[in-house]
Amino acid sequence: MAATRWKTNAHLIADVAKLGYLKADIPTLDTTYGRGSWWKKWSPTTLIANGTDPEYNPDITADFRAMPFADGSFSQITYDPPYVVKGGRRTSTMEDHQERYGMVNAPTNPVEGQRLVNDGLAESARLLAHGGVLLVKAQDYVSSGRVHWGVDETTIFARSLGLRKLDQFLFLNNGSAQDKGRTKRCGGCSGEGCLLCGGLGNTPVVQQHARRNVSVLMIFEP
C-alpha cells in the first residue's frame, strides 16, 4: 500500500525491497545515518554507511553534502536528511535528532533547512549511477505558523537535478492534534483587566493548520 502506518522505518524499507526497488546484491550507500533503524529488518549484502553517531556503527564519517566518492559510484543510495527544523522554540525536542547528524549549528528556519536538504540531495544525485535508484525521505511541517511544503520542495529540486520519481510511500505516524491548553504571551497586555488575556499575561494558542502526521519516502531514478 502507498500509505500505511508501518511499525517502523525498517518495516517500510523491507516492503520497498519486496517491490524490487532495493536489491540485496547491489552495494548500497546510506549517506546520512549509518546502520540505523532503516536496516533492522532488511539490509543489502554490502552496505556502506556514513554517519557521525558511533551507536549506528558507520563505515565512514563525512559531510553528506561532500562525500569522498567519484561520480556515479553507487546504483543504490538512501538519503534520510534532517528535513524538519526546530525553529526558535526553546522547548523543541529536535536537539538529539540534530546531534545524530553531527549538526552543532543546525538551521532554525525552513529556508535554511531546505537548502541543507537540497545540497545533500545534489550530492546523492552526483553519486548515483545511470540506471540506479535513490531513496529520499521528506516531510511537510508547520514552522512559525506557516506550512513548509518540504515534500514539494524536495521533489521540485530533484527534478531540477534530472531525477524522475518512480514511486512514493506515505508513512503515517501516531501524531495528534495540537495539545490543548497551550498558551502564548499576550501580545498587547495592558495588565489587570486586559481585554485580551484578562490580566493573566497569556492567551490560548489556537491550532491553525492540520498537524502533519506523515513523512514521505520517495524513489527516484536518474
Q: Is the pTM of this model over 0.75?
A: yes
Domain total in the chain: 1
Which of 60, 52, 22 is closest to 39 using CA atoms? 22
Give the integer Cα–Cα distance in Å for 13 and 79: 12
Give the integer Cα–Cα distance in Å for 33 and 29: 10
pLDDT at 222: 96
pLDDT at 5: 95
pLDDT at 107: 76
Q: Could you tell me how far CA 136 lies from the centroid of its own chain? A: 8
Give the integer Cα–Cα distance in Å for 208 and 105: 29
Cell numbers that stand for 9 in this block: 522505518
pLDDT at 54: 86
Q: Alpha helix locations (H) across the chain?
A: 9-18, 95-100, 110-127, 150-160
pLDDT at 90: 45
Which of 178, 171, 159, 163 is closest to 130 using CA atoms? 163
Bridge-based pairing of strands 202-204 and 3-4 is unpaired
Q: What are phi and psi of 168, to 5 degrees?
A: -155, 150
Helix (H, G, I), strand (E, B), or coil: what is residue 168?
strand
Give the integer Cα–Cα distance in Å for 193 and 205: 20
Which residue segment(s) compose the domain that 195 sits in?
3-221
pLDDT digits (tens, 9 = 90+) for 83-130: 888 654 444 444 555 555 554 456 788 999 999 999 999 999 999 999
Residue 3 belongs to what H/E stretch? strand 3-4
Mean pLDDT of the chain: 85
pLDDT digits (tens, 9 = 90+) for 1-41: 999 999 999 999 999 999 999 999 999 999 998 898 999 99
CATH number at residue 10: 3.40.50.150
Residue 60 is given by DSSP the state B
Residue 198: band (very low, low, confident or very high) from pLDDT cuts 50, 70, 90:
low
